[in-house]
Amino acid sequence: MGRPRAATIIWTLVGLVLVISQVLVAAGGPIDAYFPLTPGTVWTYRTNTSGEVIMRVGPAVRLGAVECRIIDTVVGGTTTQRECYRVTADGVYAHQRSYAAGSMQLEPPQRMLATPMAVGQVWQWIGRIGEQEVVFNYTWARRETTVVPAGQFTAMQLYFEGNIGPQVRIQSWRWFAPGVGMVKEDSTLVQGQQTVRVYAELVRMTGGR
In a domain, 65, yes or no: yes
In a domain, 1, yes or no: no
SS3 content of the chain, % helix, strand, coil (to 5): 5, 65, 30
pLDDT score for 31: 63
Whether the pLDDT of residue 101 is over 90: the answer is no
In a domain, 208, yes or no: no
Whether the pLDDT of residue 93 is over 80: the answer is yes
Whether a cis peptide bond, with omega within 30° of 0, leads into 108 is yes
In a domain, 151, yes or no: yes
Q: What's the CA angle centered on 154, arms 28 and 156, to 5 degrees?
A: 65
pLDDT score for 43: 95
pLDDT in tens, 16-42: 333 222 222 333 345 666 767 778 889
C-alpha to C-alpha distance for 60 and 71, rounded to whole angstroms = 9
In a domain, 33, yes or no: yes
C-alpha to C-alpha distance for 100 and 1, rounded to whole angstroms = 9
Least confident of 54-58, 88-92, 108-112, 150-154: 88-92
In a domain, 105, yes or no: yes
Span 104-112, average pLDDT:
87
Q: Structural domain tally of the chain?
A: 1
Span 78-100, average pLDDT:
85
pLDDT in tens, 169-187: 999 999 999 889 899 999 9
Whether the pLDDT of residue 55 is over 50: the answer is yes
C-alpha to C-alpha distance for 37 and 174, rounded to whole angstroms = 18
In a domain, 40, yes or no: yes
Stated length of the chain: 209
In a domain, 176, yes or no: yes
Q: Give me the CATH number covering residue 197.
A: 2.40.360
Rounded to two decimals, the pTM is 0.81
Q: Which of 162, 145, 46 is nearest to 111 (CA)?
A: 162
Span 91-120, average pLDDT:
86
**Domain span at 129:** 6-203
